[in-house]
Amino acid sequence: MILKNIDSKDEELNNLRSELKNAVSKKQEMFLKSKLNKIEFGYKNEKQNAYVLDSYLGNNKNLIVLHDLRLQVEDKYIQIDHLLISRVDITILESKSFSEEVFINEDGTLKVGKKAYASPLEQSKRQLHGLKSILNNAGLLENKIGKDIVLESVVLFSSNTMILNDKLPENYFRVDTYLKLREKEVDTMTFMKFVNLISGVKKLESIMNLAEFIKSKHIPRKINIENKIKKDKIIEQEVKKCDTKECSRCKEGHMVLRERKNKNYTDKYTNNKFYGCSRYPKCRNIEEILVES
């Protein structure tokens, strides 16, 4: 049964299209186009994968399906594409779709065309760790509802993604193959699942309570595009002011615009750009570009 559908991104997409029409610079236009294309592509494939999952599993009374979950774990968030909850297991499904050919390396990383991507399975395992933390903190994995339930991570590729591997690594599946296996899960049951079954299958009411709790923790994502554009404008103005600014420390170099490599810069800084001395690493002088949140 379907407990949660994908959150609509229509409002966000319409706002982006409106902002794109009113773009005041080439840089702003490029940013908005890139953002719009990325969200449109992702949204289309999310809906496609959800449709396939719902077609196979939507009428199964022993499986609860939740799509598009965003959960807070301490001061961070995890994004779960699809979550399956049965009487014996909880499975996070990380869905992937690419227009270029994909090869899955032995370590789980992906080669997509000429680009390299981190392992989606490792990403899914981090999501699983976060979900487990939420359930543990609520005491749901220690009581009768969640005790002995197996937690798993799986990566699903859409049916239109061309995968070059002759054999997919463990826990990587084409979506149609995985769903057929779920339909025959008694025949493909792991040892742990078998142990759970003979020790007592959870009641449907119990797993529904668990699913409802997870759904209640969902926090819809909101992207403030206007704030992002405002910050970009301020940064552009700062760049024009400081293009030839002398380094205040060494007096030999000049300050050049740089970008942080650490994507978690929001913990300390208001944006990912700053000025650094052109003589780095001999001179490590930096100046922040201050932008109000």
What does the pLDDT read at residue 246?
82
Which residue range(s) make up the domain with 265?
A: 225-288
What does the pLDDT read at residue 200?
47
What does the pLDDT read at residue 267?
56
What does the pLDDT read at residue 138?
86
pLDDT of residue 187 exceeding 50, the answer is no
What does the pLDDT read at residue 81?
92
Q: What is the residue type of 182?
A: R
The 10s digit of each residue's pLDDT in 134-172 is 998 888 876 566 666 788 999 999 888 999 999 999 999
pLDDT of residue 40 exceeding 60, the answer is yes
Share of the chain above pLDDT 90, in %: 29
β-pairing, 110-112 with 102-104? antiparallel
What does the pLDDT read at residue 234?
52
From 193, 216, 239, give the residue that closes a domain. 216
Q: pLDDT confidence of 39, banded at 50, 70, 90? A: confident
From 196, 216, 236, give the residue that closes a domain. 216
Share of the chain above pLDDT 70, in %: 78
Judge whether 8 lies within some domain.
yes
The set of residues, in sequence order, having a beta carbon less than 8 Å from that of 165 and lying 6+ positions away, is 103, 104
Mean pLDDT of 58-71: 88
- Tell whether 92 and 112 lie within a shared domain: yes
From 164, 185, 216, give the residue that closes a domain. 216
What mean pLDDT, rounded, does the chain reach? 81
What does the pLDDT read at residue 75?
84
Indicate the length of the chain as a whole number: 293
Looking at 17-26, 143-152, 208-217, which range is the least confident one?
A: 143-152
82/233: higher pLDDT: 82
The 10s digit of each residue's pLDDT in 233-267 is 555 555 555 556 788 898 888 888 888 776 565 55
pLDDT of residue 191 exceeding 70, the answer is no
- Tell whether 246 and 111 lie within a shared domain: no
- Tell whether 269 and 184 lie within a shared domain: no
What does the pLDDT read at residue 198?
46
The domain total for the chain is 2
Mean pLDDT of 99-120: 92
Q: What is the DSSP string of the chain?
A: -EEE-PPP-HHHHHHHHHHHHT--SHHHHHHHHHHHHHHHHHHHHHHHHHHHHHHHHTT-TT-EEEEEEEEEETTEEEEEEEEEE-SSEEEEEEEE--SS-EEE-TTS-EEETTEEE--HHHHHHHHHHHHHHHHHHTTTTTSTTTTT-EEEEEEEE-TTS-B--SSPPTTEEEHHHHHHHHHTTTTT--HHHHHHHHH-PPPHHHHHHHHHHHHHT-------HHHHHHHHHHHHHHHHHHTTPBPTTTSSSBEEEEE-S-TTGGGT-SSSEEEEETTTTT---EEE-----
Mean pLDDT of 216-222: 87
